[in-house]
Amino acid sequence: MLMPDDSTSDTQAKTDPFSWDGVSTPPLTPIPLTPIPLKLLQKSASNNKRRRFSIAAIICLVVLGAAGASWLLLQQVSQTPDQIVQEMQQRGAASTTPISTPGKQLPPNQTAVSSPHSLTPSSHKATPTPPLAGSTPTVVPTQVPTQATNPSTTQTTFISFEDGGLDGWTHTNGGGTTSIKNLATSSAVDGSHVLMVTYGPDNADNYPAVGTSNLPASLNVGQTIHASVLKTQGSDVEVGIYLIDQTGQWFLPESAYIQVNNSQTWYNVTLTVPSSLKGPITQLGISLYGHDAVIYIDNFSWQ
């Protein structure tokens, strides 16, 4: 049996430089180098120069910006307080300046407001309605305010005999002896004059009366009459106010009489004009009951 020749294999392995552990490797083929064109090299160098120039320009701009900001800061710091206040006032005045819209004027009672919304035209503005042809605006007259007046107070009418006369007073009813006189006395209720009435003993049952038709003002239904009566001497006396309307009807209720007993005391006699009388009163007076007495009448009034 023939054995393989190991020497031959070892020799091949040693002599073959591209073998590894007995495995042969094909020889490497050299790659030919292609030379770079000169124009490509020049273009690359030009791009590098442009890039360096751009970087230098950016650095210059940054430096200039920083210098400008520093200069503005120094200017602000170097300003005096008065200049700062003046500048702030100018800015405030500029911000409050009304912005006028072309072709539109503000009414006199409105103030322009500078608002961002007023600068942007709105797409929802109401379309103005044109006036009707031939129509004229309605002019509303201005009313001049009238000064409020206080309601007039009711005037009080007086018969006080201060003129010194009788004012038309006479003996109007009853028999007997009756006298009437205007008397100046310190005992008067109003002023210094009274109407003094004297009647004798023959008037005991006659109810003498004195009165007048010279009324200084009209006397109508619902008004109340007041009179003051004083007895100076004589018997006890009953006194009442009587009325006569335009038809001649007398009104003298029993309830209208009061007793005048105490001398030197003024008594107040009253009577309200009833609705049964017709029209204004034509005569008023005092009806007396008693005899041999002297009485004073003063301060007739109504309102």
Predicted pLDDT of residue 125: 45
- Residue 171 maps to a domain: yes
Predicted pLDDT of residue 178: 82
- Residue 8 maps to a domain: no
Q: C-alpha distances in angstroms, 182 versus 78, 187, 266, 295, 298?
A: 106, 13, 17, 12, 10
Task: Judge if 163 and 297 occupy the same domain.
Answer: yes
pLDDT along the chain (303 residues), means of 10: 49 50 59 59 67 85 86 70 67 53 46 41 45 49 48 70 91 80 92 91 73 90 93 88 92 90 90 90 90 89 87
Task: Judge if 62 and 164 occupy the same domain.
Answer: no
Predicted pLDDT of residue 36: 56
Task: Judge if 162 and 291 occupy the same domain.
Answer: yes
- Residue 237 maps to a domain: yes
- Residue 102 maps to a domain: no
Task: Judge if 61 and 170 occupy the same domain.
Answer: no
Predicted confidence (pLDDT) per residue in 62-90, tens digit: 888 888 888 887 776 665 666 666 767 77
Question: What is the CATH classification number for the domain harbouring 226?
Answer: 2.60.120.260
Please calculate the CA angle 214-217-220 and round it to the nearest 5 degrees.
Answer: 105
Q: Which residue do the tokens 């003046």 mark?
A: 86
Task: Judge if 69 and 176 occupy the same domain.
Answer: no
Task: Judge if 170 and 291 occupy the same domain.
Answer: yes
Predicted pLDDT of residue 286: 92
- Residue 269 maps to a domain: yes
Predicted pLDDT of residue 101: 44
- Residue 29 maps to a domain: no
Task: Judge if 69 and 164 occupy the same domain.
Answer: no
Task: Judge if 176 and 294 occupy the same domain.
Answer: yes
Task: Judge if 73 and 196 occupy the same domain.
Answer: no
**Total domain count, the chain:** 2
Predicted pLDDT of residue 68: 82
- Residue 19 maps to a domain: no
Task: Judge if 60 and 184 occupy the same domain.
Answer: no
CA distance 19 to 131: 113
DSSP assignments along the chain, one per residue: -PPP-HHHHHHHHHH-TTEETTEE-PPPPPPPPPPPPHHHHHHHHHHHHHHHHHHHHHHHHHHHHHHHHHHHHHHHHHS-HHHHHHHHHHHHHHHTS--PPTT----TT------HHHHSPPTTPPPPPPPPTT--PPPPPPPPPPPP-PPPPPPPEEE--TTSS-TT-EEEE--S-EEEEEEE-TT-SSTTEEEEEEE-GGGTTT--EEEES--SS---TT-EEEEEEEEEESS-EEEEEEEE-TT--EE--GGG-EEE-SBT-EEEEEEEPPTTS-SS--EEEEEEE-SSEEEEEEEEEE-
Query: At a CB cut-off of 8 Å and minimum separation 6, what does 260 contact?
Result: 229, 230, 231, 236, 237, 238, 239, 267, 295
- Residue 20 maps to a domain: no
Task: Judge if 188 and 287 occupy the same domain.
Answer: yes
Domain range holding 67? 49-78
